[in-house]
Structure 1
Amino acid sequence: MRGIALAMLLGAVALPARAGLFDDDVARKQIESVRIDHENRLGTLEASARGQIELANQIEALKQELAKLRGQMEVLTNDLDQAQKRQRDFYVDLDTRLRKFETAAVAPDASQSAPATPAADPANETRDYEAALNLVKAGKNKDAAAAFIAFTKAYPKSSFLPSANFWAASALYQQREVAEAARYYGKTAESWPDDARAPDALLGLSNCQTELGDKKGARASLEKIVSKYPSSPAAQTAKQRLGKK
């Protein structure tokens, strides 16, 4: 009996100790599980943060590249504007010089009898022409086109008609009225083939034909410049374009 009692006493003492050890193992496992879960979440957050930083860096790089491209576009646009202005100034200067010769060539001879029908007032004619030309100088292409077209109707016998038709075509082209521009360029080259503007008119016509999808006609216009006006600056441009086609 004493032995049984002693065994029961020892068992009673051992049970709380085993229970305490069991509780500690469970707690340690739970703590380890929480720690692992925490580390996993932390790793995920760090990966996400790195991804966001990389994305932010890529966005910043794209912004810098876009700013660079915008700067280059502004430079190219300015260069194009300057080139068009130089070309316009060149033609205006050429027009002024040619008008001096044209005016001298058509000056009335006092020994000749007066014409049967009264001629247009030269002062008004010159005034209207120069007013239209000033619109070209100012870059007011829409108004310039209307002014030159009105001039051709008001002064059908004017010595300025080749210039007026050419400038009307140029202003129309700048307004992107390509079909109408082609008509006036074609009229200039066909009606006044010996005029100094004829080669440039054919070059303008070729540009219009290209934009209108008439590649065959555009090439024919370039070939006509080379064959008929081989010494003109327009012929050099035409040769270069023909070499590319």
Structure 2
Amino acid sequence: MAIASLALLAAGTAEAGLFDDAEARKAILDMRARIDQAEQASKARDAEQGEQINQLRRSLLDLNTTIEQLRADMAKQRGLDEQLQRDVAELQRKQKDVQQGIDERLRKMEPQKVQLDGKDFLAEPDETRLYGEAVGVLRQGDFAGAVGAFTAFQRRYPNSGYSTAALYWLANAQYGKREYKEAITSFRSLVSIAPEHPRAAEALLSIANCQVELKDPKAARRTLDELIKAYPKSEAAQAGRERIAALK
């Protein structure tokens, strides 16, 4: 009986040992499986984190590229702004030059104050120029040219402040051409239009001279009498008195 009991005990112990080894192996396998899962999960997380990091890097690169592009665009825009400012400044300078040119031309076209034969009046620049040119022609002794120049002046500026002076010099040019009748008409117009003109007395004396040239001494004496009566203190009247004595 004792021997049988020992045998049963030994058999039970062996079965218990086999059971414990199987459980241990299973536990180990389970642990390895969990470790593998954990490693795989860790690798998956690492891969995901790596992808996220790579995505972040790409985003940072894109952002840097965008920033650099913006900087380039801003620099280009600054350059355009600076060029625009230079263009505007140049346009403003040209506009100022043009305006100054226009103002200068307008000043040249504006009537200017003139004093002639004791009278002040306004005359356009061209008006003064044409009158001066006509006087210049007469001074050169070109009587025909002077008649044409003064006649053209009177047609262009019939109401000019130079009119009476132009009429006087026209009459002198006609006298120089020996157009005595025409000269008498011009001198007489001056006396009629402006009897107070400083040259009115000289105009009457010139009329008398024209009448003498036309062999009309009676008319010349009448004109000289008119001269002496109208302008008794003038130098022309003194010359007229001497002329009357010569005509008698």
Question: Which residue of 113, 116, 140 corresponds with 1:99?
Answer: 116
* Pair member with larger Rg: 2
For residue 226 of structure 1, report the CA deviation from its aligned partner.
0.7
> Which residue type is aligned with residue 237 of structure 2?
A
Deviations 1:118-154 (A, max 9, x none): xxx6111101100000111111111011111111121
For residue 207 of structure 1, report the CA deviation from its aligned partner.
1.0
Partner SS state of residue 231, structure 1: coil
The share of aligned pairs that are identical, in percent, is 35
Partner SS state of residue 106, structure 1: strand
Higher strand share: 2
> Which residue type is aligned with residue 99 of structure 1?
L
User: CA 1:129 to 1:172, structure 2 compared with 1: closer, same or farther past 3 Å?
Assistant: same
For 2:191 and 2:219, the matched residues in 1 are separated by 14
- The answer to whether the 8 A contact 1:178-1:211 is kept is yes
- The answer to whether the 8 A contact 2:117-2:197 is kept is no
Count of residues in Structure 1 that have an aligned counterpart in Structure 2: 134
For residue 98 of structure 1, report the CA deviation from its aligned partner.
6.1
Partner SS state of residue 166, structure 1: helix
Instruction: State yes or no: 1:133 paired with 2:150.
Output: no
- The answer to whether the 8 A contact 2:171-2:187 is kept is yes
For residue 209 of structure 1, report the CA deviation from its aligned partner.
1.4
For 1:191 and 1:221, the matched residues in 2 are separated by 17
Query: For residue 191 of structure 2, what is the aligned residue in structure 1?
Result: 189
* Residues 110-129 of structure 1 aligned to structure 2 (within 5 Å): 122-129=124-131
Deviations 1:36-59 (A, max 9, x none): xxxxxxxxxxxxxxxxxxxxxxxx
* Residues 3-42 of structure 1 aligned to structure 2 (within 5 Å): none
- The answer to whether the 8 A contact 2:207-2:220 is kept is yes
For 2:155 and 2:244, the matched residues in 1 are separated by 36
Deviations 1:12-53 (A, max 9, x none): xxxxxxxxxxxxxxxxxxxxxxxxxxxxxxxxxxxxxxxxxx
> Which residue type is aligned with residue 201 of structure 2?
P
Query: For residue 230 of structure 1, what is the aligned residue in structure 2?
Result: 232
> Which residue type is aligned with residue 106 of structure 1?
F
For residue 101 of structure 1, report the CA deviation from its aligned partner.
3.7
For 1:211 and 1:132, the matched residues in 2 are separated by 25
For residue 224 of structure 1, report the CA deviation from its aligned partner.
1.1
> Which residue type is aligned with residue 230 of structure 1?
P
Instruction: State yes or no: 1:198 paired with 2:200.
Output: yes
For 1:100 and 1:149, the matched residues in 2 are separated by 20
> Which residue type is aligned with residue 241 of structure 1?
R
TM-score (norm 1): 0.52
Query: For residue 218 of structure 2, what is the aligned residue in structure 1?
Result: 216
Deviations 1:145-192 (A, max 9, x none): 111111112111111111111101101111111111111111111211
For residue 216 of structure 1, report the CA deviation from its aligned partner.
2.1
For 1:181 and 1:219, the matched residues in 2 are separated by 17
For residue 205 of structure 1, report the CA deviation from its aligned partner.
0.7
Q: Which 5+ residue runs of structure 2 have no aligned equivalent?
A: 1-113
- The answer to whether the 8 A contact 1:162-1:197 is kept is no
Q: Which 5+ residue runs of structure 1 have no aligned equivalent?
A: 1-96, 108-120
For 1:156 and 1:206, the matched residues in 2 are separated by 27
Query: For residue 108 of structure 2, what is the aligned residue in structure 1?
Result: none
> Which residue type is aligned with residue 210 of structure 1?
V
For 2:221 and 2:115, the matched residues in 1 are separated by 29
For residue 106 of structure 1, report the CA deviation from its aligned partner.
2.4
Query: For residue 22 of structure 1, what is the aligned residue in structure 2?
Result: none
- The answer to whether the 8 A contact 1:125-1:155 is kept is yes
